[in-house]
Structure 1
Amino acid sequence: MPETRPTPADGDREAAVASALGALDLDTKTRLLAGQDVWSLPALPEIGLRSLVMSDGPIGVRGARWSADDPSIALPSPTALAATWDPALAHRAGVLLAQEARRKGVHVLLAPTVNLHRSPLGGRHFEAYSEDPYLTGAIGAGYVRGVQSGGIGATMKHFVANDAETDRFTVDNRVGERALREIYLAPFEAIVEHARPWGVMTAYNTVNGTTMTEHHHLVNEVLRGEWGFDGCNVSDWTAARSTVGAVEGGLDIAMPGPRTVYGEALARAVRDGLVQESTVDEAVRNVLRLAARVGVLEGAAPAVAEPPALVDGPALAREIARRSFVLLRNESGALPLRPGTVALIGAAARDARVLGGGSATVFPSRVVSPLDGLTAALPEGSLSYCVGADPAPELAVAQYGFELRAVCRDAGGDVVGARSAPSGQIQWTGTDLPEGVTGAALHTVELTGTFTPRATGLHTFGIKGAGAFTLTVAGTTHYDGVQLPADDGDPFEAFFGAPVARARVELAAGEPVEVSLAHVHDLPAEVPIEVVAFALAHQEPQRDADELIAEAVEAARAADTAVVVVATTERVESEGFDRTDLRLPGRQDDLVRAVAVANPRTVVVVNSGSPVELPWRDDAAAVLLTWFPGQEAGAALADVLTGACEPGGRLPTTWGSLADAPVTRVAPADGRLHYDEGVFIGYRAWERQGRTPSYPFGHGLGYTDWTYESVEARGTTVRIRLRNSGTRTGREVVQVYLAPTAPDDTRPVRRLAGFAGVEAAPGESAEVVVELPRRAFEIWDETAGAWTFVKGSYEIQVGRSIADRRLTAAVNV
């Protein structure tokens, strides 16, 4: 584990950093602060500095190549990791990701995301942990410690109040000082205190009138000054807009390169007297310190001399998934499955949704679907499958049935290079072009190969991206023109934008046809990232929805148990846009209702990264939430459904209808988004407004029962004794809430103050000890500009969720 407080080794590294800094001239220093490309900083051989490489997370390490032909381990979504309520498991995830980073030549992981679930409509909700700052900080700290124990830098992001995607580059989030301190800054502060992260990423958005890449108060005075953060501050990609404002605001690295506000522009600002060279030196010192810690600066011992033992990635992905699954409902012991026949229903059961869209995307070498997992786990002949209802009445990146390669040509039409294309998505940066290809010579990229349909009927083909395209299917050119970008100004349109349908072709199942999508590479001069990005998209023939549901009903009626897998899609949950509702897409709600009528033993598996409405929840015998479960999705699901393992998750966020949700505004007005709710988000807001959610914060069932026997509070130390009163070994998450005895409208009715996991065999008792942090008794005094300890009487409430509190004790402080 890396050190969490300064040690003598830190002093030695500081000496090496100072020596290296003293050997650099102004131009070299400012060049080091600017990315040399999309993912790395320049090497400086004169001081023994190798190039430092960064990569996106948080569920895997993509590396410098954004392509399915460079696979990565894909862990479950951050919401799933938080649902384990287990910082030690988050630590193990971090250890694995450090291992993946070393394998891919990456030194800094751009993760974890510790923004909060302010509103269920946040499009990137799945990439953050929780609505609660305490739980977020605990899971995030475990993750950071794990990553850095492997000698890889972790970058907590996005600092701060980056809680929605609408107008994310320009929105000015107006947040009161108390809410900022108690809610949005709190998890960052906890991670600095408990994990000593080596990096932070400042966000696109503005906070209270100042863009975060230039926020001197929050970065220099709070993060570095009050909290003592000594790591490196990197901008979100393209977020830095002002040379002087950024460096004065504490930004160390402006990414990506080569076009940034640093480099030559920063050197010129120093020479013009607009910036002190000492300010530049501090930024360079932070970069060199990071380089020393990760072992790319000669003469400085890395923070970790020997990485931890190797981790079995697929096994850990499977364990995290099943530990994260939340059993919301289980009537009459519907789960685990009893012996008999099972009708598996749902498009997502065959084509699993294992991760969210956007920069969190990685490409696993394999994905175990629910159909794969249950086929392997259940007796032969006991499982049937049908689609039931397709959740994705839209095009998706070409994948199933396609065998493609990318061919690169120059302006004369000569082939200059080629590369395999495991999917229809091309995402190449300037340093990741196929061998022999240069940006200057590249004129056309053609995705070409064959497509073997899984179904007979009218197939739809489309294009994602902007520019000139030629689409040919089965020898016929269906589109030859220029596809214009969306008008929202998002520079990542080719990554996150929606595909456009361009051809509909009648094809026969099992009969291969030739397909080709050619794209003219012509980047505008103002594009900040040198990248080749576009995709061939596809949609299978759309059958009548009522007909599909009728087939599912017949299958369910004929089986002992029906398992329906419902899911969101990449057009529902992704970076780049917020949600407009919480409904499951397509006719999936109708499907569940119909199947539940046909078979009273209907188990619904909800495959979404963030809350969706479940209007049929009381009709289903069991409801199991699997989040985005990572590459081992189906194997973990089989473990839980068959009873080989218990579903271990508890909700890290309240689930309810959009009509009842207390905080729903994510779109700014006149460029500003006011956080008028103050400290009241999540369960704090639900309780304040007296609303009852579908499932409360902390809720989750297991396969055994627990009796809470006693609680004892001595000062801030709480001891809880409980007993497994069920029939099988299980794990319980004991949750401790702190409630002021005297009514106070300015404070939540109660707040999470601690938690602990415990395992016990049937009949066995166990004791857990929870230490309540001082901060649980404090509020931010806006008048004094300081934390205030609120003395008085409090009730300690212990239970299984915020709504299922079993024991109480009093404490006076």
Structure 2
Amino acid sequence: MRDWQTLIEQMTLEEKAGLCSGENFWRTKAIERLGIPAINLSDGPHGLRAQGEEQDHLGVNDSKPATCFPTAAGLASSWSIERLEQLGAALGDEAQAEGLHVVLGPGANIKRSPLCGRNFEYFSEDPLLSSHLAAAHIRGTQSRGVGSSLKHFVANNQEHRRMSVDARIDERTLREIYLASFEHAVKQAQPWTVMCAYNRVNGDYCSEHRRLLTDILRDEWGFEGVVVSDWGAVNERVPGLEAGMELEMPAPIGERDAQIAAAVREGRLEEAVLDRAVERLLRLIFQAHDARLEQAHFDTEAHHQLARHIARDSMVLLQNDGTLPLTDTQRVAVIGEFAERPRYQGGGSSHVNATRVETLLEALKTRNASFDYTKGFEIDRDAPDQPLEQDAATAASHADVAVLCLGLPERHESEGYDRTHLNLPANQLALIEAVTRAQPNTVVVLANGSPIAMPWAGRVSAILEGYLGGQAVGAALADLLYGEVSPSGKLAETFPRRLEDTPAYLNFPGEGDVVRYGEGIFVGYRHYDTLGTEPLFPFGHGLSYSRFDYANLALSASVYDGQGALTVSCDITNSGEIEASEIVQLYLSDRTQTVPVAEQTLRGFDRVTLAPGETARIELSLTRRDFCWYDAERAEWRLPTGTFEVRIGASSRDIRLSRCLEVQGDETPLPDIDRNTLLGDLQRRDDTTRVLREHLADIADELPMLNGLMGRSGGDDLMDAMGHYLPLRALVSFSSFTEARLETLLKDLGALASP
């Protein structure tokens, strides 16, 4: 057990200040005289980006070869805790082999708009799915003695003006959506570090946001690690240190260290604050070095095959009229330059130098498939090319089926900027037109990091969403196209029909340096389901080559009082002829009308693999928090009283089973009572209702609007509404009630708040 206090006392002020920033882009400072080593960090949500001497943070310079796994957009579509843990462990193994101590990832920011250029690096529009997958990723990496850096905390939901924009978010939305996407991962997986975001939240930069970094992250959630800045995210260093941001990256050429030391000497910063940060950094540094494995190595081929299996579990069959799977007897026209130049990862800081890349053409040759390849379009140009289109149409007409390999070129979506539309490039749209005229059996295979519009969907036979499938993307696609395995991925985000349907359309990317989150809690499917807007493909959607039957929904209780867990169980049967996986989704619909809520919210999920004819009993748990809404006025999670509907579905729009449940919630809190308090607000509690009846009984006949309060069934909606929204002071205006009696009523109501 190390004596941190003694070690800190041996450090000079300059050494302590210096420990709070990096030596260079990827390495912290060592203090050799005290035996304090440096640690090495690396980008790596889906693969390591360990660089040599030519270092940068945007992927401009080459990095060492590493396995490139599918990006988070695809990973999330696997809905697989097991796969995310396997991927995390593989990253940890590779980090050990490269002498790295902390891997920067995963990214758990919410997909607020499909236009965000970095959406490929984030999991989902739903905070429960995002946080559970992030926790699995972290557990996997840290099981290998390598730290994770959960990022970007918080509300880094756009690239436009990302280093200065102020995200204005109401407290309930912040808690239920954006913080919730990180909360479970922090509490359950304890990442060694959390990375603060570039942006501001409600006025303060995340790098110096005490409420986020200390009050919530540490004091409420129990985070025990180090907060590191995103690269270049620091605004003012001393306020950042006071707020709870320990490590600034990259190295600021000593200026920030001097600012910290000067602030201590001048009494503007308590040295105890610096010492606390240094102790947290020392714990991280020695934890990382104690876990270091000498002579560590990894099997590049095994990791390539893992990337292949993860990719095929993550790809989503969006549409299929029976054309898929292909057969070995069919002649296939493979069209599109992505077949030979796949886009398998995103652009920017997470760019991985893959150990090798397996294209679709290579995979088809390996399996001796009968196919011809035509380029169809040029990835590096958007303008239509009629000769290429004509060659493609001719090839398609001579085949049994055409496979169009389409998607978004890297220049269309990347870290650093947002998209402005949801369309495929013009040359690809023209190619679809030409090929579908020549061949009715056309399959579209997509390579993209976020949703696209598909006005052409009705013209094609099948659509396979490959996302950015990593270095084994070609083999994974071939496995699915030819039915070696059944597609099993399901969308972790909604695909809209058009940009105008998206929740943040009127508020993205904001005005100047302010973006208002005007859609509130109605993000993603919460928006579409509540408004009844039909998406192109709904959240949770994904087809299979098999079929699944749902039956026998059961709840462990018919009434839930918020204590312990409620078990929800049902049977899932594979009624098809091949082994396949199904992702079972549990949604809750709050019927209490206590506050505005979404039509339904995801509250659990499970992925199960079944042989033909096999049945599995699925059990999912609901806890108090799953039923709660966040009361911003009282800064607490509140359990409403009334009816909830428990729903089990194959997607958010494919609910198979449902059952109602009564919830006995928290007592309605006593409102702050004054002469402007509404009668309706006081009728939410039995004790305030009793006092009102006692004081107002003699004037009830004067005011028909008091019928509801008195328990009379007058049946007059107008009077009931007027009574509900009547302030106490208005009793004096509309009846013989006096100001003196009003004062007595207020006194008696106020006495209810006394202990």
Same fold (TM over 0.5): yes
Are 1:591 and 2:431 counterparts?
A: yes
Question: Shift of residue 547 of structure 1?
Answer: 1.5
Instruction: Tell me which of 247, 252, 270 is aligned to 1:253.
Output: 247
1:26-45 equivalences under 5 Å are 26-45=13-32
Letter in 2 for 1:553: A
**Residues 623 and 81 (structure 1 numbering): CA distance in 2 closer, same or farther, change over 3 Å?**
same
Whole-angstrom CA distance in 2 between matches of 1:670 and 1:629 = 35
* Corresponding residue of 1:228: 222
1:435-481 deviation line (CA, Å, top 9, x unaligned): xxxxxxxxxxxxxxxxxxxxxxxxxxxxxxxxxxxxxxxxxxxxxxx
Whole-angstrom CA distance in 2 between matches of 1:375 and 1:729 = 26
Whole-angstrom CA distance in 1 between matches of 2:245 and 2:639 = 33
Are 1:773 and 2:623 counterparts?
A: yes
Look up the SS of the partner of 1:707 in the other structure: strand
Letter in 1 for 2:10: A
Are 1:186 and 2:170 counterparts?
A: no
* Corresponding residue of 1:498: none
Look up the SS of the partner of 2:457 in the other structure: coil
Instruction: Tell me which of 360, 365, 390 is aligned to 2:350.
Output: 360
Look up the SS of the partner of 1:70 in the other structure: coil
* Corresponding residue of 2:647: 797
Instruction: Tell me which of 284, 287, 292 is aligned to 1:293.
Output: 287
Look up the SS of the partner of 1:185 in the other structure: helix
Are 1:737 and 2:578 counterparts?
A: no
Question: Shift of residue 335 of structure 1?
Answer: 2.1
Are the counterparts in 1 of residues 26 and 42 from structure 2 also a CA contact under 8 Å? Answer: yes
Question: Shift of residue 304 of structure 1?
Answer: 9.2
* Corresponding residue of 1:581: 421
Instruction: Tell me which of 369, 373, 376 is aligned to 1:388.
Output: 376
1:10-159 equivalences under 5 Å are 12=1, 15-65=2-52, 67-68=61-62, 70-159=64-153
RMSD of aligned Cα (Å): 1.9
* Corresponding residue of 2:311: 321
Whole-angstrom CA distance in 2 between matches of 1:308 and 1:808 = 50
Question: Shift of residue 261 of structure 1?
Answer: 5.4
Are 1:677 and 2:677 counterparts?
A: no
* Corresponding residue of 1:344: 334
Are the counterparts in 1 of residues 154 and 196 from structure 2 also a CA contact under 8 Å? Answer: yes
1:12-67 deviation line (CA, Å, top 9, x unaligned): 3xx44334323212111101111111111111123322111111111111113364
* Corresponding residue of 1:211: 205
Look up the SS of the partner of 1:121 in the other structure: coil
Scaled by the length of structure 2, the TM-score of the pair is 0.83
Look up the SS of the partner of 2:520 in the other structure: coil
Are the counterparts in 1 of residues 117 and 414 from structure 2 also a CA contact under 8 Å? Answer: yes
Look up the SS of the partner of 1:659 in the other structure: helix
1:160-200 deviation line (CA, Å, top 9, x unaligned): 00000000111011011011100000021111111011100
* Corresponding residue of 1:623: 463
Look up the SS of the partner of 1:809 in the other structure: strand
Whole-angstrom CA distance in 2 between matches of 1:178 and 1:619 = 43
1:648-797 equivalences under 5 Å are 648-656=488-496, 657-664=498-505, 665-715=507-557, 716-743=566-593, 746-797=596-647
Are the counterparts in 1 of residues 67 and 304 from structure 2 also a CA contact under 8 Å? Answer: yes
Q: Which blocks of at least 5 consecutive residues in structure 1 are unaligned?
A: 1-11, 296-300, 395-541
Are the counterparts in 1 of residues 70 and 307 from structure 2 also a CA contact under 8 Å? Answer: yes
Look up the SS of the partner of 1:800 in the other structure: strand
Whole-angstrom CA distance in 2 between matches of 1:581 and 1:234 = 33
Whole-angstrom CA distance in 2 between matches of 1:773 and 1:106 = 38
Are the counterparts in 1 of residues 205 and 235 from structure 2 also a CA contact under 8 Å? Answer: no
**Residues 760 and 308 (structure 1 numbering): CA distance in 2 closer, same or farther, change over 3 Å?**
farther
Whole-angstrom CA distance in 2 between matches of 1:308 and 1:278 = 41
Look up the SS of the partner of 2:589 in the other structure: strand
Are the counterparts in 2 of residues 72 and 365 from structure 1 also a CA contact under 8 Å? Answer: yes
Are the counterparts in 2 of residues 717 and 771 from structure 1 also a CA contact under 8 Å? Answer: yes
Are the counterparts in 2 of residues 95 and 308 from structure 1 also a CA contact under 8 Å? Answer: no
Letter in 2 for 1:388: G
Identity %: 38
Are the counterparts in 1 of residues 77 and 489 from structure 2 also a CA contact under 8 Å? Answer: yes
Are the counterparts in 2 of residues 202 and 212 from structure 1 also a CA contact under 8 Å? Answer: yes
Look up the SS of the partner of 2:411 in the other structure: coil
Question: Shift of residue 259 of structure 1?
Answer: 2.5
Scaled by the length of structure 1, the TM-score of the pair is 0.77
Letter in 1 for 2:425: P
Whole-angstrom CA distance in 1 between matches of 2:368 and 2:10 = 66
1:535-578 deviation line (CA, Å, top 9, x unaligned): xxxxxxx8x61111111111001011110010101211100000
Look up the SS of the partner of 1:122 in the other structure: coil
Are the counterparts in 1 of residues 324 and 481 from structure 2 also a CA contact under 8 Å? Answer: no
1:752-780 deviation line (CA, Å, top 9, x unaligned): 00001111111111111111233211111
Are the counterparts in 2 of residues 174 and 674 from structure 1 also a CA contact under 8 Å? Answer: yes
Look up the SS of the partner of 2:249 in the other structure: coil
Whole-angstrom CA distance in 1 between matches of 2:447 and 2:527 = 26
Whole-angstrom CA distance in 1 between matches of 2:439 and 2:523 = 38
**Residues 336 and 293 (structure 1 numbering): CA distance in 2 closer, same or farther, change over 3 Å?**
farther
Whole-angstrom CA distance in 1 between matches of 2:650 and 2:350 = 31
Are 1:643 and 2:633 counterparts?
A: no
Letter in 2 for 1:194: Q
Look up the SS of the partner of 1:612 in the other structure: coil
- Richer in strand (by share): 1
Length, aligned pairs only: 645
Look up the SS of the partner of 1:259 in the other structure: coil
* Corresponding residue of 2:675: none
Whole-angstrom CA distance in 2 between matches of 1:791 and 1:291 = 48
Whole-angstrom CA distance in 2 between matches of 1:767 and 1:206 = 46
Whole-angstrom CA distance in 2 between matches of 1:73 and 1:560 = 36
1:308-346 deviation line (CA, Å, top 9, x unaligned): 996821011001100001000110343244521110000
Look up the SS of the partner of 1:219 in the other structure: helix
Whole-angstrom CA distance in 2 between matches of 1:260 and 1:78 = 35
Are the counterparts in 2 of residues 391 and 584 from structure 1 also a CA contact under 8 Å? Answer: no
Q: Whose Rg is larger?
A: 2
Whole-angstrom CA distance in 1 between matches of 2:74 and 2:218 = 31
Question: Shift of residue 692 of structure 1?
Answer: 0.4
Are the counterparts in 2 of residues 386 and 552 from structure 1 also a CA contact under 8 Å? Answer: yes
Are the counterparts in 1 of residues 97 and 298 from structure 2 also a CA contact under 8 Å? Answer: no
* Corresponding residue of 1:515: none
1:307-318 equivalences under 5 Å are 312-318=302-308
Whole-angstrom CA distance in 1 between matches of 2:408 and 2:327 = 25
1:467-486 equivalences under 5 Å are none
Q: Which blocks of at least 5 consecutive residues in structure 2 are unaligned?
A: 56-60, 558-565, 664-755
1:483-502 equivalences under 5 Å are none
Whole-angstrom CA distance in 2 between matches of 1:119 and 1:781 = 26
Question: Shift of residue 306 of structure 1?
Answer: 12
Whole-angstrom CA distance in 2 between matches of 1:742 and 1:32 = 53
**Residues 648 and 16 (structure 1 numbering): CA distance in 2 closer, same or farther, change over 3 Å?**
farther
Whole-angstrom CA distance in 2 between matches of 1:95 and 1:689 = 41
- Richer in helix (by share): 2
Whole-angstrom CA distance in 1 between matches of 2:87 and 2:132 = 14
Whole-angstrom CA distance in 1 between matches of 2:83 and 2:63 = 29
1:389-433 deviation line (CA, Å, top 9, x unaligned): 224317xxxxxxxxxxxxxxxxxxxxxxxxxxxxxxxxxxxxxxx
Letter in 1 for 2:112: R
Instruction: Tell me which of 453, 456, 465 is aligned to 1:613.
Output: 453
Question: Shift of residue 356 of structure 1?
Answer: 0.6
Are the counterparts in 2 of residues 582 and 611 from structure 1 also a CA contact under 8 Å? Answer: yes
